[in-house]
A = this chain, B = another copy of it.
Amino acid sequence: MAQPDFLVAVDLVILTVDADVLKVLCVRRGVAPYKGRLALPGGFVRPSEDLADAAERELGEETGLSDLGGHLEQLATYGDPKRDPRGRVLSVAHLALVPDPPPATAGSDAADADWFAVEELLGSRRRLAFDHHRILTDGVARARAKLEYSPLAAAFCRSEFTIGELRQVYEAVWGAELDPRNFHRKVTKTPGFVEATGRTTTRQGGRPARLFVAGGAEVLYPPMQAPA
């Protein structure tokens, strides 16, 4: 029997931490449907392109980054028959974590891209096009969960970072304050989480802080505990 054809797109939830606030990159749609509405950046998958390659390409186009120091993983696939009024479009959503906020609109494609506070976007259900509110919700939930049992928070930091900077990542993503002393103990005692470089910096003010790089661990045992 004849099978229906689908269009397949890749949409990106690109998260960063800027000024202690979790932000996501959005573009303003210039064409219908949802013209003028904010949307997650994305695009169609090319004929002989793998999904991961398509996501990496889109990430590069939107941020100008070549994913160096960041993190990119598949999030989930959204296929409600009515999610796109133009037809049967499948969206394979990806989650990207990038350090610093790279200057928005650095890429050529999306002339009108900018960073938005996640908390604000999630507050009003109507600000994002398509089912992107749900995709963003799922992406943020994934990021929050992954900080617990993986050393992924380092993906939000530049290659060398202080324990304090890493703690601010957790605080921004989880929206909770953590005790600096207990956090310091936990991070430095968990094997493979971070490795000291020997260098120090004073960019945070106060006493010079040691600089660390991400360790080799893939998972954290025992996990970081999000506050109850």
> Which residues of A does B touch, CB under 8 Å?
3-8, 44-51, 74, 76-81, 88, 90, 92, 149, 221-223, 225, 228
Closest to A79 in B: B51
Q: Could you tell me if B223 and A46 are in contact, using CB atoms closer than 8 angstroms? A: no
CB neighbours (8 Å) of A77 from chain B are 51, 74, 77, 92
20 contacts between A and B (CB under 8 A): A3-B7, A3-B44, A5-B5, A5-B6, A6-B6, A6-B7, A6-B90, A8-B8, A8-B79, A48-B81, A49-B81, A50-B79, A50-B80, A51-B78, A51-B79, A77-B77, A77-B92, A90-B90, A222-B225, A223-B223
Complex Cα–Cα for A222 and B148 (A): 12
Given contact pairs A5-B6, A222-B225, a sample of 10 additional A-B residue pairs in the complex whose CB atoms are under 8 Å apart: A5-B5, A5-B7, A8-B79, A48-B81, A51-B78, A74-B76, A74-B77, A90-B90, A221-B228, A223-B223
